């Protein structure tokens, strides 16, 4: 019994001790694990804190300028300030192109709330947009932060849109070009695009001086990128330079009106007219038909923008005959009193030169008065090719007139080394050479200013310092007197006489060239003249392309335009009339 109890106790005691010992061991392992985890968390937290502290020190102490720059980039920015585009004025200061302040409206598609349908529809009505246009723009540019809603609207309308206070809609100041003369001077002045950059005419040709230099300023924007304050002007904009033209807008309007009437009356395809100052070479008018309005030019074809008077060429026909007579006189190839037997035709190699009628015997005055192809062909064939070509070249044929207008035509003329006899003959009555209306008007200065050929200018100037002598003064005066008879009763341009003034000129009726040769019943009707004849102040060249109402002779179609424009222009310039009654004086001269 004792043995049993002892054994039991021992066993029990031992068993109890062993169990405790196992429990103590398990508790110790758990405690150690918890301690280990706690240390890891503490170490991780301390490491994160150390990184944050290090980053804070880096940004706020070592590289604090970075944060400042980033903040400035988001709230302070530089914006461009548009420069005022220079005005274009006529010689008397009348505005032909001016810039007016306007507003452009743009939006941030990501900010605009399309749920505000009433306000958005009101914006569309104010801007003459179709219903739903704004929503369409938002969907089309949803990934962007900028899209124009309307460009160049009046400040009054812009204020009405601003009053709606729609989030996401912003305003930008711009300048819009306005042309007070409209279609009257459209081809000459040209126009700018929506960004105020010259696209045609003088707007394009003088873009660099007209556009000015944009400025810049620093502004503060709010969180929605709206400008809330100007900080400083960085650079002031420099306004473009004004352009003062040689054009007299009064004469320009007169020429435009008369040319338009002629085109409508004769159902012509197009027309061009140039008025030139005979003493200075200044271009006082350059008009074309058809025209366009540069203020509302949408859906117009590019061909309408072309300034035909300066950029288009044609064969001048008989308007060059006075130059042939002058060249032959100056070169001694004809005598002042010489008479030519015309017979109505003239054989040149295998070709025949013809006149409209058989004029019989003609002196030099009669050659121009009746416009004889036969007689001038005989003169041309007497002159050496190099000499003949040299006179045409000095007169500016085949060479740009140098007005500075974009796309100015040079015309064309074959080199004399390749001329055949028939080429020389046809050149004497204006075939085989091409010229613009401006080039032809310039060539006439050599007759109008006593033999001096003037350069031309679209900018106002007091005198031409580049004049060059082509003919002697005596010859120029003699040929002018011959040209006066062209406007007599039995001349080719009786309809071109100028009320109150003596005038001299020459007609030209030219078949148009086409594929494979000249086109039947398709003509250029041309007249070139000057007045007063004894001391010319103005030169006017009129070219009407394809008159189709029945009449096509230069003396019937173009000469009347010359008459009206010349008479009106001389009076505008206060040139004193030199004749009270044209007819008796002209008839007296004819019989002398």
Query: In sequence order, what are the residues at sequence separation of 6 or more whose Cβ sits closer than 8 angstroms to the Cβ of residue 446?
Result: 323, 326, 394, 395, 452, 453, 470, 471, 476
Cβ(58)–Cβ(66) below 8 Å: no
Cα–Cα distance for residue pair 120/131, rounded to 1 Å: 9
Alpha helices in 435-491 (DSSP H): 437-448, 473-484
The single residue listed with the structure tokens 């000095």 is 394
Q: How many CB atoms lie within 10 A of CB 181?
A: 22
The DSSP secondary-structure symbol of 62 reads: I
Written as six digits, the tokens of 95 are 């505005």
Measured CA to CA, the distance from residue 240 to residue 242 in angstroms comes to 7
Tokens describing residue 420: 């055949």
Q: Please tell me what DSSP assigns to residue 357.
A: S
Q: Between β-strands 243-244 and 88-89, what pairing exists: parallel, antiparallel or unpaired? A: parallel
CB 81 within 8 A of CB 215: yes
**3-class DSSP assignment, residue 302:** helix
Q: How many Cβ atoms from other residues are within 10 Å of residue 521's Cβ? A: 9
45, 96, 461, 508 from 553: Cα distances, Å: 104, 35, 36, 7
Gyration radius of the chain over CA positions: 43
Q: What's the farthest any 2 CA atoms get from each other in the chain?
A: 185
Sequence-distant (6+) residues with CB within 8 A of 29 are none
Distance separating alpha carbons of residues 159 and 226, to the nearest angstrom:
16
Structural contact between residues 90 and 245, judged by C-beta atoms closer than 8 angstroms: yes
Catalytic site positions: 318
* Cα end-to-end span (Å), the chain: 185
Q: Are 117 and 111 in contact (CB under 8 A)?
A: no
Partner residues linked to 545 by β-bridges:
270, 524
Instruction: Give DSSP secondary structure letters for 476-526.
Output: HHHHHHHHHGGGSTTSS-GGG-BTTB--EEEEEEEEEEETTEEEEEEEEEE
- Is the peptide bond between 196 and the residue preceding it cis, with omega within 30 degrees of 0? no
φ, ψ (nearest 5 deg) of residue 78: -100, 135
Alpha helices in 58-106 (DSSP H): 64-75
Q: How far apart are CA 525 and CA 427, in angstroms?
A: 18
């Amino acid at each position: 019994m004792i043995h049993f109890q002892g054994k039991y106790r021992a066993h029990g005691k031992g068993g109890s001790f062993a169990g405790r010992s196992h429990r103590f061991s398990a508790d110790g392992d758990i405690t150690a694990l918890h301690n280990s985890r706690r240390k890891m968390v503490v170490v991780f937290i301390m490491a994160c804190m150390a990184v944050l502290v290090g980053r804070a020190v880096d940004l706020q102490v070592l590289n604090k300028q970075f944060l400042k720059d980033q903040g400035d980039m988001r709230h302070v920015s530089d914006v461009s300030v548009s420069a005022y585009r220079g005005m274009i004025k006529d010689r008397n200061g009348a505005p032909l192109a001016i810039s007016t302040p306007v507003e452009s409206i743009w939006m941030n598609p990501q900010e605009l709330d399309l749920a505000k349908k009433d306000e958005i529809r009101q914006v569309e009505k104010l801007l003459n947009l179709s219903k739903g246009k704004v929503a369409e723009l938002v969907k089309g540019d949803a990934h962007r932060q900028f899209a124009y809603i309307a460009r160049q609207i009046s400040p009054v309308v812009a204020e009405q849109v601003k009053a709606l206070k729609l989030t996401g809609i912003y305003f930008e100041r711009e300048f819009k070009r306005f042309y007070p003369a409209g279609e009257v001077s459209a081809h000459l002045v040209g126009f700018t695009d929506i960004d105020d950059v010259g696209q045609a005419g003088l707007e394009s040709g003088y873009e660099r001086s007209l556009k000015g230099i944009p400025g810049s300023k620093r502004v503060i924007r709010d969180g929605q990128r709206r400008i809330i304050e100007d900080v400083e002007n960085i650079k002031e904009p420099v306004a473009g330079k004004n352009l003062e033209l040689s054009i007299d807008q009064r004469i320009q309007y007169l020429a435009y009106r008369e040319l338009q009437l002629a085109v409508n009356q004769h159902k012509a395809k197009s027309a061009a007219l140039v008025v030139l100052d005979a003493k200075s070479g200044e271009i006082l008018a350059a008009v074309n038909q058809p025209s366009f309005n540069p203020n509302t030019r949408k859906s117009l074809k590019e061909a309408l923008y072309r300034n035909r008077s300066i950029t288009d060429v044609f064969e001048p026909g008989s308007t060059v005959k006075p130059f042939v007579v002058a060249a032959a006189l100056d070169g001694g190839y004809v005598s002042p009193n010489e008479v030519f037997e015309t017979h109505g035709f003239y054989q040149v190699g295998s070709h025949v030169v013809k006149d409209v009628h058989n004029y019989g015997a003609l002196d030099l005055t009669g050659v121009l008065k009746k416009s004889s192809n036969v007689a001038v062909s005989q003169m041309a064939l007497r002159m050496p090719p190099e000499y003949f070509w040299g006179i045409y070249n000095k007169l500016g044929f085949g060479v740009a007139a140098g007005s500075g207008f974009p796309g100015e035509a040079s015309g064309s003329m074959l080199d004399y080394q390749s001329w055949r006899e028939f080429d020389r003959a046809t050149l004497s009555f204006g075939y085989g050479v091409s010229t613009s209306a401006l080039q032809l008007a310039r060539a006439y200065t050599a007759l109008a200013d006593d033999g001096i050929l003037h350069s031309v200018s679209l900018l106002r100037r007091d005198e031409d310092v580049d004049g060059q002598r082509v003919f002697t003064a005596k010859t120029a005066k003699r040929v002018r007197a011959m040209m006066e008879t062209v406007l007599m009763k039995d001349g080719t341009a009786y309809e071109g006489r100028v009320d109150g003034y003596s005038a001299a000129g020459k007609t030209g009726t030219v078949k148009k060239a086409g594929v494979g040769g000249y086109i039947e019943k398709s003509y250029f009707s041309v007249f070139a003249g000057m007045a007063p004849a004894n001391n010319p102040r103005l030169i006017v060249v009129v070219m009407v392309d394809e008159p189709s109402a029945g009449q096509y002779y230069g003396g019937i179609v173009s000469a009347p335009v010359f008459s009206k424009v010349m008479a009106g222009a001389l009076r505008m310039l206060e040139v004193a009339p030199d004749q009270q009654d044209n007819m008796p004086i002209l008839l007296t001269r004819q019989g002398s």
